[in-house]
Structure 1
Amino acid sequence: HLPTDSIKQLNHKMTSYKTRQSSYGDPTGCMQGTRVKVLEDLDAWASNANSSKVYWMVGMAGIGKSTIAHTFCENLEGKNILGGSFFASRASEKTRNARLIIPVISHALARASPRIKVEVVKAIEDDPTLAEPAYININEQFKRLIYDPVRTTAGAVDKVVVIDAVDECDNLEVVASFIKLVLEWSSKIPFKIFLTSRDEYRIRNAFRSTRDSIRELFYLHNIEKDVVKNDILKYLETSLARIKDDDSEEWPLSSELSGLVARSGTLFIYAATAVRYITDGRENYKSRLSAMVIPGQKSISKFETDIDSLYVHIMGEVCERKESHEVDLMRNLLSTIIFLRTPLPMEAIISLSLETNARSYLSQLSSVIHLPNQPGAVVAPFHASFPDFITNPHRCSPKRCPLFPSLVASEGHELIALKCLKLLNQSLKYNICEVPEELTLSRRDRANSPENVGKISQALKYSCIYWAAHLAEVKVFDAVLVDPLHVFLHEHLLHWIECLSILGELQTGIKSFGGIVTVLSAFGLHDLQLLVDDARRCLQMNFEAVKKHCMEIYESALVWIPKNSLIRKTYIADVSRVPKVILGLSDSWGSAELIVQNGSLVTSVAFSQDGSRVVSGSKDKTVRIWNDGSRIVSGSLDQTVRIWNVTTGEVEAERKGYTSFVMSVAFSEDGSRVVSGSHDKTVRIWNVMTGGVAELKGHTSFVVPVAFSQDGSRVVSGSGDGTVRIWNVTTGEVEAELKGHTSYVESVAFSQDGSRVVSGSNDKTVRIWNVTTGKVEAEMKGHTKVVRSVAFSQDGSRVVSGSFDKTVRIWNATTGKVEAELKGHTLAVRSVAFSEDGSHVFSSSNDKTVRIWNLTTGNFQSIPTSDIAWPRGGGKTTTLGEFRIFHPFSMNSFIQLSDNGHWIISNLRDCWIPSQYCDFYCFSTWGSRICLGYSSGNVVIFDVAAAL
């Protein structure tokens, strides 16, 4: 028996689409009597237990692949052997997300089989992140969501999964990885897979990675032209016969049909678009057909020329005899549809464009734009070839299409950004879902309920999620944006964050801030830029609270941010009934942008090459990647490696297999791999994309430092056995074992050109090794304690070392002589690095400071850091976790603290405490006030009843 809540969880986690939903208009199959031979061959392949497990249909755009796939799905459904389908499309963010393929197919298979459903639900219960499109390890995802569940139905092959237009996905590397997985596991899964795409090289290379017997390849454009032309003729005859006025008249003429077939060539999309155009002409249908064809004209072989001539003809007639303002209105409406990040229904387009006559104007484009009559159905181009044409300045040039030249992407995005801002300014408000003003947690939980999501219009949802993305695409700033931006940022910024929380899109807000700041800076709007950057830090600081409870953006976030912050000064007067920090609040933001809970001593850190991510290793057997806008990788005492989202702290993926705590970690140059050294004597190389792990053995003691060479072909490791080893990343073999240190090796690094390695050791020395010969080129002595960190300068001329003797030393890499000794740290130096130009050195220490040293002057800048400690103890169980009673300050009043230190719960008010304030050393309570004391000497006094 499968629990009801588990079924709900499955349906909630898995993104479910209609079997043949397409973003480009209504899904339609082949007209009866056409594509007969192709469909017969596909049916034979599907029903033959001995045929290949994977079928790849390849063809150029517009040739009819998706139409065939739709019909094939219908045939499979009729035989009850359709296992699931995914129809990709560039028109929608969801349908072009390659990472959704596995969850969608798993969901479909689970719906088709109760036994599979049980196993899929179990997998999601074990790891809820598996069903998320952000899950990075597609190898693990495929195994746990598809392979493991379907093994329970092992036996005859009786299901077929259809995946259409994978070339329209936004990450073809993910598509290629998925195809390779399918081919690798095809012999072990009890179903077949049918894929269609254009002949894209990454997809082609993925299929070539396996032997021919596993997959079948069919080039749709290789069908005999006479067969295709007969199918197109049959389609045209049947479709056009439906619209003639008099059944007795001969229309269309055979010469006209021949001309239209000739113009269509082998492109069904040309024929389908021509039929819609002629049909939309109503009483002018005859003249429209006559104008399109010249009897006996030969087809043009080039697709773009062929289809473009039709699109030019359509756009010319649409604009003919129209006033310029009418054409401008149509351009605006068409720009909106073409450049939307995801398609919208007509009612949302009307709300966004503020054009009540939008449907009337767009109906004139109904041969290229699908205008459904069903409420909620989206408006979108019929085929991807039309957006390609209308946005290409060469194909839709003023010379070829003078009345309607090509749409400009930057102008289109500016138009949509402006429309979104106007709608946001008009619609957003405090407590937008009008949740009753109660003081319990249940009020805030209800604010984020699906019921309230439904109260927000489709147009407002779109504007909240995508306005910033459109703004980021604006290349030339227009003053028309200034006033709406100013109003939005000064009056509705917090309302926007509240709305994002309700929609479950708060992470979108975090990601949006960077793009908004960049645009405002580029266009000289520095006052607005500072306000947005302030809001970003406010949301990062309070992300967990606001994500769970949308009203916390007012009731907690504004409470804790620095007194002089712009966002506080701008909005605090507009918010009533908030608690108050009486003493101890910072005046301004500190240098730490973000504090993420780690829970154990950090033993190693390293930047990725682009500086966007940091990987850290910890004594709790963890590896973490800290990304300033994307992800974190971590591991824990349960020997797992996890991928975290840095802005939210949520787990995106995990990797198990570590048997002891991690001593060191490092990125490859391209960020695709992470190497770790462990106390279990092994080196592991983790492929971030596929999740695959290679284990390198050879050291006889714990592995402390690890590093990649610049080209990613080698890894260097140092060990407690006193040796340094060079590993080949491809083969996993040891290329060199470097011996010479008399105690364990603490740090290693490659030179920029990969020819040398520098190492620092517990024997107090620094050594430079020649990678080719394995010989020591220089031995540097001078430190009086263990050398904890070493690094080459960018040009390889110098080496920097940091030691537990509290000093930083600069060495000449050729002579081995010390060039400078930098003193200032009061405790052991743990990490050092050169700036890119070699003019500065960075060092971090156990004295909780990071110092930036100027190598010219010898001066340094000191930046304080802090540790985090979490209070622990038994307490009361609530929906938010464990709470500990601090102090009953009256018969009917009490104060509790959550086990992680983040929530103060009382019968007066529930309050959030950000990470920066959770590391208190002691506390005391008096009435409704809490006094928190910190090891730094700071004191914070907080009154939970201040706002009542």
Structure 2
Amino acid sequence: MARTIDRIDHASILDKLPDATNARFDAFDDRDAVECLQGTRTELLQQIMEWAMSPSQKCIFWLKGMAGTGKSTISRTVARSLKDTNHLSASFFFKRGEGDRGNAKKFFPTLTRQLMLMIPVLRSGVHKALHDDPDIVSKSLREQFEKLLLHPLLDLDQLGRQPQAAVIVIDALDECEHDQDVRNIIRLLPLLQKAKSVRLRIFLTSRPELPISIGFSEIANHGYQDLALHEIPEKVTERDIHLFLQDRFAKIKQDRNISQDWPGDNVIQKLVTVSVPLFISAATVCRYIENAKWEPQFRLAELLTDQAKYVSKMDKTYLPILMRLLDDRESDESEQQQLLQEFQDIVGVIILLADPLSINALSLFLGIGADQIGNRLNSFRSVLSIPGNRDQPVRILHLSFRDFLVQSGTKFHVDEPKKHKKIAHLCLKTMQNHLRKDICDLESSGTYRTDVGPQYIRQYLPLELQYSCRYWIHHLEQSQDLSSGIEDVLLFLQKHFLHWLEAMSLLGLISEVVGMLDLLRTVVLGDNNSVISEFLHDGTRFVLKNRQIADEAPLQVYYAGLVFAPRTSVIRREFKSELPTWICQFPQVEEKWSAELQAIEGHSDSVQSVAFSPDGRLLASGSDDKTVRLWDTATGGLQQTLEGHSGSVQSVAFSRDGRLLASGSSDNTARLWDTATGGLQQTLEGHSGWVRSVAFSRDGRLLASGSDDNIVRLWDTATGGLQQTLEGHSGSVWSVAFSPDGRLLASGSYDNTVRLWDTATGGLQQTLEGHSGSVRSVAFSRDGRLLASGSSDRTVRLWDTATGGLQQTLEGHSGSVQSVAFSRDGRLLASGSYDNIVRLWDTATGGLQQTLVRAIRARDNTVRLWDTATGGLQQTLEGHSGSVQSVAFSRDGRLLASGSSDNTARLWDTATGGLQQTLEGHSGSVRSVAFSRDGRLLASGSDDKTVRLWDTATGGLQQTLEGHSDWVRSVAFSRDGRLLASGSDDNTVRLWDTATGGLQQTLEGHSDWVRSVAFSRDGRLLASGSDDKTVRLWDTATGGLQQTLEGHSGSVRSVAFSPDGRLLASGSYDNTVRLWDTATGGLQQTLEGHSGSVRSVAFSRDGRLLASGSSDKTVRLWDTATGGLQETLKTNGIVNKLDFSQEGSYLITNLGTLDIQSGHENFASTSTHKNPAIFIEQGRWINMNGKSVLWLPPDFRPSCSAINGDLLALGHASGRVSFLRFHL
């Protein structure tokens, strides 16, 4: 039984680890690949095996050599020998253009899978890593390496195991895409020697290309040994090639019954001379001669005869093979031209493909029969790998064949730019023929990509279409001349742009699209066509805005993408016919794209700081979730997650060369990170308070840190040593910055001053006084002559660094200025404030240049990227300027009221979405709003301790009801509208005459905040629920306390009377609902079942049912007579308000309508009433009939919402109110 469980557990782990199966040394695809002939490479192989088995040798053996020198053959031989001796732990053979073998995406998961087979005790560590982070396999290389390999290996050291020798073989690292991935792999692998219980050795081969050479130079201190194959004495290589040829010719003679004296030592030596130093050349010659269709003697003679004609070794190797294609004495000139054309059409395409295609895929791509392609390719088996299965890819055996064809001056020359242009045309044609909306027939617009099985992808997106979608722009770029193809590209984009985005999203490649469009716009097309340039610019903005949701739910490019696109967006205009027909009133959107390029989501708490790398390719963000994240600024993709701090990350900064990142935290430390690998370089300890700010000197040798301990410290970044302690401030140091020459350091403090320090001596140079609030940010201009400071006094000041004199005071912000930064030329200064605005200033005049609405540092857990050039296009958001706290519909649904933290209430026309009235008068946030039953009055309760009554027709203030001494949390009208009740944080309830505004009663008795109030149907009783855990019943005529209902163990958040007034229901933070007898105060029922606080309660019209809404995201229906649970309805959101429909067949909630007749524990898919269920799902989706249909971008996610029939109102943190009306 234990073994069975272990096998199942192991299988479950393997299922979660992606595997580049073809990358193993003994993969089926490489079944014909040879190993070193016995007797060849003997010295080298012996040296490698001795290194592998010796406990004192260096961790890595790097075997480097030029193309064709036999590296892969040696790797296979080494791997085979190690496997035979049970010392091979894992292998990965890279091969460019071979899908998973051509990149590092599955490199570490593949190694981990193999290591677990050799070292079974690794499974628990790997299982824990996958359990803790199920998405680890899609994270950065560093995170994959640490969590899947390094940490599980280090955990084994705790078990006291005997050291075990294990070797990893990595072949052809130079064929891994992306130079940075290659360098990261080289940096990370030496860290494996930290593991002591497993003595790992890594045997690695590659060409000696620059990125790899640089990578190894960077790990010189970690220890590796290398050997260059092409530097092995030529005589040794000659001997081995000679032995190889002798062996292959002996097999040819035996197989074909040829005389033993053929071909003779002289011929063998000639072939050796031609081949050295490339084993690939000798192997190619042998494959050519071995062809079963021809006489070997004739083939060899042909090679020997022709070799003198050619200068290039590649000519000598490949041209005779190609010439055989035309060697048919019976064919005429036209037939030979036809053969050459077929060669160009088939082989010419194959050698330039970015990823190999099968014969069947090539047939559909090229429009040539599969049999015809197969027959033609049979002539090239010595240079191409042609599998028997026509669904397997055709591959080049060696890149030198492609190099020969594109560089050769022969009739077989492939005109590379011209051929790329042809392939690009084929890609466009393939996409035009196949791409369409919902290509996988998913039907539901909210279907997640992860729920689309690979079989559907293969069925609806065949390989030739996948290839075309991914590489069409690559081939356009390589064609170098697009003068005659621009119109074709424009027509394709105008018809199929969204279809292409959908396909790329389904393939998990949407993050590549931004770079592709940028390449198309800047490199390929230039400024040749303003129409297509405008389209591509708009398309790029569209993708940046929707990248995340397209990756999650591809069909949302047609829905959320278009619905929330600006009104003048080219994409919205071109594809307006794709707008969802089930929306009949669309939300108000901006006129044009704003300066915000994208909102990057990923942090789980507020983002406190952001910084760009010097080259602009990376963005670092520090968050209250204790992590630093590195993002690709072009795509918004997450590159690294830097974990280690035990407190909020308050500040981040890059070194000038971009190789280091510093972070300061509330854990009192600063940390230095390697940006390429994400590895922690230094932990700088010494401060006794939060580290609020960090900054590098220009040369990167010093780091400054400012802290709540009132001290600035200077650190040596190489050693982590403390260089200077700068004392003088009398308050927290919120910001630090070096002058460009590194001689000065500026520090801004809570003591309202800026100080300038000499970095060499630590001496104080200047104290800059003038701010009336704490200094939150400082920055030097590029020439060091100006210093900018931003303060909580809402101003920015510019100072002369030489004299300390004040140059400009920049006023305009209405909140604390948290950040300042100069443009590179020093002419502009950007300032970011708590007023949610970024402003751009002219440093010479102090004039305001741009206003960008919405802050860069976000409390919505996002990071936002802005385009400063288009800041002027930003529209002022009409409506509230603060978060919307509450919304409510009038009874007839014609009006919506919203209350906001901007101290206003607003009335909106639900038919048009237009703002009807702005109800100004409150001086504090509006917490609650309620309409009278006839809709003529609106009551608003506020933090300013007042209640105000407004005329909904005119917006005029009717009454200001004063008397409360704390925030007003809840308001409710009596049924006849004559009384208004208000519950407050002053622990009282007050009853007001709505006609006169007079205070009728002050109901005192609660000992804590009053959260909810409700009138009985006849208006004679009022119930109030409080944080003191009680419900109280009051006589509205006398104000007398009738009953105190005790029993709840948590705050009472909702109360409701039954229609006949005999029962009262109360919902509490103790997760229960209680039913009380209003006459006696006796507890009738305790309704238990919710797993979260109960936020709302309501009786059915006949009083037989009670509904309760909870933070557990369910609504429960109870029998009021028995207390029995009747039905549980899942909501995917918190129901804060609910009521029964008139006929009782469904519930009306703040999230939507719920069918209560179906008996299903979900929103009904076959509703029995005219209104399907519409609700907000997890704050991110609009859900209809139980299906997610429309994703809400961050700017449109509601802080509160209300639904009235077919109309959805969303109140936003920005102060805006949005309306969507649906066809039901």
TM-score range, shorter chain: 0.7 to 0.9
Counterpart for residue 403 of structure 1: 411
Please, which of 110, 120, 124 is the counterpart of residue 126 of structure 2? 120
Q: Considering fraction of residues, name the structure with more helix.
A: 1
1:433 aligns with 2:437: no
Q: Which of 552, 573, 576 is the equivalent residue of 2:577?
A: 573
Residue 243 of structure 1 deviates from its aligned partner by 6.8
Shift, 1:811, TM fit: 1.7
Check the 8 A contact 1:91/1:343 in 2, yes or no: yes
Corresponding residue of 1:458: 463
Q: CA deviation at 1:862?
A: 1.2
C-alpha contact (below 8 Å) 2:815/2:834 kept by paired residues? yes
Secondary structure of the 1:479 match is coil
Secondary structure at the aligned position of 1:522 is classed as coil
Contact 1:240–1:252 (Cα < 8 Å) also in 2 = no
| CA drift at 1:941 | 1.4
Matched residue, 1:195? 204
- The one-letter amino acid paired with 1:255 is N
**Higher CA-based Rg:** 2
Contact in 1 for aligned 2:165/2:198 (Cα 8 Å): no
Aligned to 1:134: 140
* TM superposition shift of 1:757: 1.6
Structure-2 residue corresponding to 1:688: 675
Q: Specify the code of the residue in structure 2 equivalent to 1:927.
A: G
Cα 1:881–1:254 shift into 2, 3 Å: farther
Q: 1:516 to 1:190 in 2, by over 3 A?
A: same
Secondary structure of the structure 2 residue equivalent to 1:293: helix
The 8 Å contact of residues 621 and 629 in structure 2, kept in 1 or not, is answered as yes
Q: 1:367 to 1:216 in 2, by over 3 A?
A: closer
Aligned residue type for 2:392 = A
Give the counterpart letter for 1:865 in structure 2.
R
Q: Is the 8 A contact 1:16 1:107 kept in 2?
A: no
SS at match of 1:669: coil
Q: Which runs of 5+ in 2 are unaligned?
A: 328-332, 862-884, 886-1109, 1116-1128, 1136-1148, 1157-1166
Matched residue, 1:513: 517
Q: Does 1:355 align with 2:368?
A: yes
Contact 2:246 2:268 in 1 (8 A): no
- 1:596 aligned counterpart, secondary structure: strand
Alignment of 1:844-855 (within 5 A): 844-855=832-843
Question: Are 1:228 and 2:236 matched, yes or no?
Answer: no
TM-score w.r.t. length of structure 2: 0.68
Query: Does structure 2 retain, via aligned residues, the 8 Å contact 1:520–1:526?
Result: no
| Paired amino acid for 1:180 | P
Residues 449 and 506, structure 2, Cα contact 8 Å, conserved in 1: no
Shift in CA distance, 449/526, structure 1 to aligned 2, threshold 3 Å: farther
Shift of the 330–757 alpha-carbon distance from structure 1 to 2, 3 Å rule, reads: farther
Q: Within 2, Cα distance between the matches of 1:55 and 1:880?
A: 59
Matched letter for residue 184 of structure 2 = V
Q: Which residue of 2 aligns with 1:41?
A: 46
CA RMSD after TM alignment: 3.7
Contact persistence 2:652–2:663 (CA under 8 A): yes
Deviations 1:592-640 (A, max 9, x none): 222234565543332221233333334443434454225xxxxxxxxxx
Aligned to 2:253: 241
Amino acid at match of 2:480: K
Amino acid in structure 2 at the alignment position of 1:568: R
Assess if the C-alpha contact under 8 Å between 2:688 and 2:709 holds in 1: yes
Residue number in structure 2 paired with 1:639: none
Per residue, is there more strand in 1 or in 2? 2
Separation in structure 2 between the aligned mates of residue 282 and residue 317 of structure 1, nearest angstrom: 12
Give deviations 1:144-203, integer Å, cap 9, x for gaps. Answer: 365547987944636543221223334331232134224x33654255433333455346
Q: Could you tell me which amino acid in structure 2 is paired with residue 193 of structure 1? A: I
Contact 1:103–1:145 at 8 Å: present in 2 too?
no
Out of 924, 939, 942, the residue aligned to residue 1217 of structure 2 is 939
Q: Does 1:277 align with 2:285?
A: no
Query: Using the alignment, how far apart are the partners of 1:133 and 1:340 within structure 2?
Result: 28
Equivalent residue for 1:637? none
Counterpart in 2 of 1:84?
Answer: 90
Does 2:592 match 1:592?
Answer: no
Is 1:416 matched with 2:423? yes
Partner of 1:259: 270
Partner Cα distance (1:922, 1:296) in 2: 81
Is residue 762–residue 785 contact of structure 1 (8 Å, CA) maintained in 2? yes
Does the CA contact (< 8 Å) of 1:725 and 1:736 recur in 2?
yes
Query: CA separation of 1:336/1:154 partners in 2, compared to 1, >3 Å: closer, same or farther?
Result: farther
Does the 8 Å contact 2:102/2:176 carry over to 1? yes
Deviations 1:235-278 (A, max 9, x none): 3423542675x635853244322321232234321111111233
1:883–1:514 Cα change, 3 Å: farther
Mapped to 2, the partners of 1:432 and 1:902 lie a distance apart of: 25
Check if 1:809 corresponds to 2:797: yes
List per-residue Cα deviations over 1:568-612 (Å, max 9, x = no partner): 222231465443444433333322222234565543332221233
Identity %: 29
Corresponding residue SS for 1:749: strand
Q: Is the 8 A contact 1:559 1:578 kept in 2?
A: no
Offset at residue 850 of structure 1 (A): 1.1
* Change in 2 beyond 3 A, CA 1:731/1:591: same
- What residue number does 1:677 align with? 664
Letter in 2 for 1:178: L
1:821 maps onto 2:832 in alignment: no
CA 1:135/1:894 → structure 2, altered by over 3 Å: closer, same or farther?
A: farther
Partner of 1:372: 387
1:176 aligns with 2:186: yes
For residues 439-470 of structure 1, the C-alpha deviation after alignment (integer angstroms, 9 at most, x for no partner) is 696x6679722231120211111122222333
Query: CA–CA distance in 2 between the matches of 1:295 and 1:823?
Result: 84
- Match of residue 740, structure 1, among 704, 728, 743: 728
Counterpart Cα distance in 1 of 2:424 and 2:306: 47
Q: Residues 901 and 918 of structure 1 are in contact (CA less than 8 Å); yes or no, is this contact kept in structure 2?
A: no
Q: 1:742 to 1:34 in 2, by over 3 A?
A: same
* 2:20 aligned residue: 16
Residue deviations 1:802-832 (CA, integer Å, cap 9, x gap):
2222222222222222222222222221111
Q: Give the 3-state SS of the residue equivalent to 1:551 in structure 2.
A: helix
**Following TM superposition, by how much is the alpha carbon of 1:140 offset from its aligned partner in structure 2, in angstroms?**
1.9
- State the distance in 2 between where 1:606 and 1:40 align: 50
Q: How does 1:557-568 map to 2 (within 5 A)?
A: 557-568=561-572
2:689 touches 2:709 (CA, 8 Å); kept in 1? yes
Deviation at 1:550, TM superposition (A): 3.0
Deviations 1:79-114 (A, max 9, x none): 555322100123335324246432211111224554
Does 2:1167 align with 1:905?
Answer: no
1:510 CA displacement: 4.2
Corresponding residue for 2:608?
Answer: 603
Name the aligned partner's letter for residue 194 of structure 1: F
Contact kept, 8 Å, 1:660 with 1:678, in 2: the verdict is yes
Look up the match of 2:79. Answer: 73
Q: Which amino acid aligns with 1:92?
A: E
Matched, 1:28 2:42: no
State the shift of 1:377 in Å: 2.5
CA distance in 2, matches of 1:385, 1:482: 36
Structure 1 gap ranges (5+): 631-645
User: Equivalents in 1 of 2:843, 2:238: separation in Å?
Assistant: 77
| Cα 1:446/1:779, change in 2 over 3 Å | closer
259-268 vs 829-838, greater mean Cα deviation: 259-268
Tell which deviates more after alignment, 351-360 or 256-265: 351-360
Question: Quick one: structure 1 residues 605 and 910, their matched pair in 2 at CA, closer, same or farther if it must change by over 3 Å?
Answer: closer
Q: 2:644 aligns with which of 646, 650, 657?
A: 657
After TM superposition, give the deviation of residue 666 of structure 1 in Å.
0.9
Q: Distance in 2 between matches of 1:734 and 1:190?
A: 36
What secondary structure does 1:594 align onto?
strand
- With normalisation by structure 1, the TM-score equals 0.86
Query: What is the rounded CA distance, in whole Å, between the counterparts of 2:755 and 2:845 in structure 1?
Result: 27
Preserved CA contact (<8 Å) 1:605 1:665 = yes
- Deviations along 1:500-541, one digit per CA (max 9) or x if unpaired, are 233233333344333333346515233233333434433443
In structure 1, distance between residues paired with 2:307 and 2:1203: 94
CA displacement at 1:428 relative to structure 2: 1.1
Aligned to 1:339: 352
Question: Are residues 100 and 174 of structure 1, via their aligned partners in 2, closer, same or farther at CA, if it must alter by over 3 Å?
Answer: farther
Residue 206 of structure 1 and its aligned partner are, at CA, apart by 6.3
2:151 is matched with 144
Q: Is the 1:23–1:95 Cα contact (8 Å) retained in structure 2?
A: no
Q: 1:492 to 1:190 in 2, by over 3 A?
A: same
